[in-house]
Structure 1
């Protein structure tokens, strides 16, 4: 996936958080198994982000054909510390996250901190 609207649409789907990443899964009609990767600048410099993308891409290529949800978009969002995690542990976490998503068991949606001023409400 490369279009912003696909990533935004997937954000309304099922969310499964793990220590190294967050998996978003959302039905896409009849488009098959698709994947996307998001790594923010907060994670590190370009070298670190690209290394993390390569690791995620390899994980997805290995896991999605057998364990991915049919006709779903799968998005991995990198978390801090994910680049240092053991690859085998991340593979096991991805399998668990995909299994949980297949059961329809997602994590509750994120809440913003109540003491954090929102845009327009700054003092």
Structure 2
């Protein structure tokens, strides 16, 4: 519980431009969960950058905003342990995010981020 309180005031840098989102998508590294998709890219910054997106498939404007708020809160909860320097992350909402239990969202995010980092390490070793 103390981690959540400490991370409340900390604001992570975000992706804002379409070109930044496209560069992350071009790496073709992603992990799919029932509630969201996480894409992984590389950046030159010392901090991780996060992007959030929700298409009209998620729902109307109210539902899309709620989905992005839930994703931002999930990232705040897992930021210290699971996000790495020099990386860009894009969280893409799926329709199930609106009804998915919050604790399950956090578990899925930790699992997906751990798996993505493992895939990144395997590619470095193989190349």
Q: Which residue of 2 aligns with 1:68?
A: 83
Query: Partners of 2:90 and 2:79 in 1: how far apart?
Result: 11
CA shift for structure 1 position 70:
1.7
Pairs aligned (count): 105
Q: Which residue of 2 aligns with 1:84?
A: 99
**Equivalent residues of 2:38, 2:90 under 8 A apart:** yes
SS of the residue 1:104 aligns to = helix
Query: Partners of 1:17 and 1:6 in 2: how far apart?
Result: 20
Q: Which moved more, 1:25-34 or 1:41-50?
A: 25-34
Q: Which residue of 2 aligns with 1:22?
A: 37
C-alpha spacing 1:10/1:17, structure 2 compared with 1 (3 Å): same
Question: After the TM superposition, which segments of 4 or more aligned residues of structure 1 sit over 6 Å from their partners?
Answer: none
- Aligned-pair RMSD on alpha carbons? 1.2
Output the TM-score relative to the length of structure 2.
0.78
CA shift for structure 1 position 31:
4.4
Q: Which residue of 2 aligns with 1:2?
A: 16
**Equivalent residues of 1:69, 1:98 under 8 A apart:** no
Deviations 1:30-58 (A, max 9, x none): 34211010100111011111111100001
Output the TM-score relative to the length of structure 1.
0.81
Query: Partners of 1:87 and 1:23 in 2: how far apart?
Result: 17
